[in-house]
Structures are given as C-alpha cells and as structure tokens.
Amino acid sequence: MTESLEERQPHADTVHDVHELAVLDRIFPLLPVADSQLLGPGDDAAVLAAPDGRFVVTTDMMVHGPDFRLAWSQPHDLGWKAAASNLADVAAMGARPTGLVVAIAATPDTPVSMLEGISAGLRDACALLAPGCGVVGGDMSVSDTLTLAVTAFGDLEGRPPVLRSGARVGDVVALAGNAGVAAAGLRLLFDEGVDVSGNPDPVAAAAVRAREPRLVGAQLAPTPPISSGVDAAVAGATAMLDVSDGLALDAARIARASGVCVDLHRSTLGEDVESALRGGEDHALLATFGPDATLPAGFRVIGSVRAGTGVSLDGEAVGGVLGWDPYVGWDGRTG
C-alpha cells in the first residue's frame, strides 16, 4: 500500500503535497554513505562501526531565526553548516568523524527542492571536510519552524579523547582556522544583506556575498579544519575545543576546566582584535600543546597557558560578555 501513497503526487513541489516516503526517496540518493556504515537508513535504526569499542557523539540544532535566515542562507549552506559545525565538535575531541544522523522539521510549504539542497550541502560538507563520513539515518518532521538537528559520531582510533581540562601552565595555545571571520561576515549581512526597512533580503545578501565571498561564506558555509583535530591529538594536544561562541568565551572554557589562565597574544589576532576575540561560528580548533610539542600543520601559536584563571590578552584580563547566548541573544526575528 505504501507504493500507492508514494506515487500519489510524485511531481508536487512542497512537503505538504508529497508523501514523507517520497520525500525520503528523493533525498536518500543525495546523501553520502559512510565508510563505517554497517546498516544504513531504512530500518528502525542504523548500525555503525566503532572499531576501538568506543564512539564520540555530539549533537547540535540549527533553528530558523536565531541560527539562520532564509533570505541569507541557501539550502546548500544550511546542510553544509549543520554538518560542518557538528563535525568540528567531533574533531575537537581528536576524533575522526564517521557518521551523522539528521532530523529535519520543515514547514508544510517547504519546497522539496529545499530539502534536496540541504541534503546536497550535507553531502558536500562530508566529502570536503571529512571524507568517509556519511549520513547513516534521520527523521523527517513537520513544524512551524524549519529546524535541523544533527548528531555526529567519531572514531578515536585508540587514542584518549582530548578534553578541555588538560591544559597545563607552560603550554602553548594554538589555533587552526579562522577567528572573527564568520562574525565579520554576519555583520556585513546585517548591514548590507537587508532591504531599506532593514529586513533580510535575498538579492542584497547575494550581492554582498559576491563582493565579500570569504567573509560571508565563512558565516554561511564555514570550512572548519576538521582533519586538524586528529592531527592535534596525534601531536599530543593537551586540551582542545571547537571555537563556536567566540575565542574569548571558548578559551575561558579551557581555562576554567583546566584551572589555568589562557593568555592570548594580541599581535596574533589580526587587525580586528575585538572580532577575533568575540566573534563566534568560525568553528576553528583551539588547542594547547606542551612546550616541546611540534605543532601540526594548520595550527599557529596565539598564546600561552599561565597560572591563574580566565582569559587575558597580553596579560590583561578580558572582561565583558564573552560571546553569544542563544536564550538572551535572539531578538525573535526570522527572515
């Protein structure tokens, strides 16, 4: 009987008009298959390999409004960013990403082509950032608010996970990836990706993205250095995390967990130090290494670990609100 349902409206345009199974039939072929997949989508659950008897798991939700605007992000961007941000959390443990499960709640008027675009973004992010990683399962729901929930898995390949709590006085602080670039892109979108009334506008956003592809692209489709996570672990990183909420706030998390002070060097943070310190969503990897470690390619020294607490900049404490808080920061707009 399910066949007749699937065939009812094969060419309709929105998820409301197309049966769930037909949506899945259009999406599945787009999704990357994970090398570690032992059983893929189509049963009650998937089965994934965990060769060393453990697996790393993280989950992150992207919500229309606080996390993205449809006037700014292409569907491909949404899938890409949902994958990239979760892959970065796996990488930050020193693990190799192996698989994703993806739950999408779409409004009834969502074009199926948007879900296909999201799927292509998931595929391309896996292929570029974490080859071998794929989508092993998912869920499709309907909602008043477009929402993507991704859960990502990783293989520690026999190594201990790299925690936030391992930084020691005397370690060097190093960064792989951008600091403040995604935030600069977001500022451009808020300033110029809008119409005369200040509302997010797709034409204006496309124009600013064409003019500043690096900055706007860093916000809408970030390319975190996923493979650097394993490299850092192999090189003996003592602590590591994914910089999602801003360098200052995330460095404070290492400082707090490790019982140390993270001192950042102003000269390493570029011209716009404020953006570098407080801008989130770059998904760079912030790590500490023993003083004698050889930093893996892609990491640059941006500070040192000292006795004390919190975060300092050339020895001076960094204060103020340190980063984005979803509950306090969202103004309720969507667009």
Q: Please enumerate in sequence order all residues whose Cβ is within 8 A of that of 264, keeping only pairs 6 or more positions apart, or say none.
A: 173, 247, 248, 251, 277, 302, 303, 311, 312, 313, 314, 318
Sequence letter at residue 126: C
Gap between the Cα atoms of 133 and 128, Å rounded? 10
Which residues between 11 and 50 bind its own copies (CB under 8 A)? 15-16, 18-20, 23, 38-39, 42-50
Residue 78 touching its own copies (CB under 8 A): no
Of 95 and 302, which CB lies nearer to its own copies in the complex structure? 95
Instruction: Answer whether 67's CB lies under 8 Å from 81's CB.
Output: no
Contacting range for its own copies; rule: CB under 8 A; set: 55-63, 175-183, 192-200, 216-224: 55-63
DSSP SS3 for 76? helix
Q: Which of residues 56-75 bind its own copies (CB under 8 A)?
A: 56-67
Which residue ranges make up the annotated binding site for substrate?
Answer: 67, 281, 324
Tell me the pairing of strands 316-317 and 96-106: unpaired
Q: CB-wise, 154 or 204, nearer to its own copies?
A: 154
- Look up residue 236 and give its two tokens: 């003996």
Residue 309 DSSP symbol: S
Would you call 11 exposed, middle or buried from its count of C-beta atoms within 10 A (0-12, 13-18, 19+)?
Answer: exposed
For the CB of residue 134, give the shortest distance to its own copies in the complex, in Å.
13
Of 53-61, 217-225, 266-274, 294-302, the window that binds its own copies (rule: CB under 8 A) is 53-61
Total residues binding its own copies (CB under 8 A): 93
**Residue 199 interacts with its own copies (CB under 8 A)?**
no
User: Restricting to residues 163-192, which ones interact with its own copies according to CB under 8 A?
Assistant: 163-164
C-beta closer to its own copies: residue 46 or 182: 46
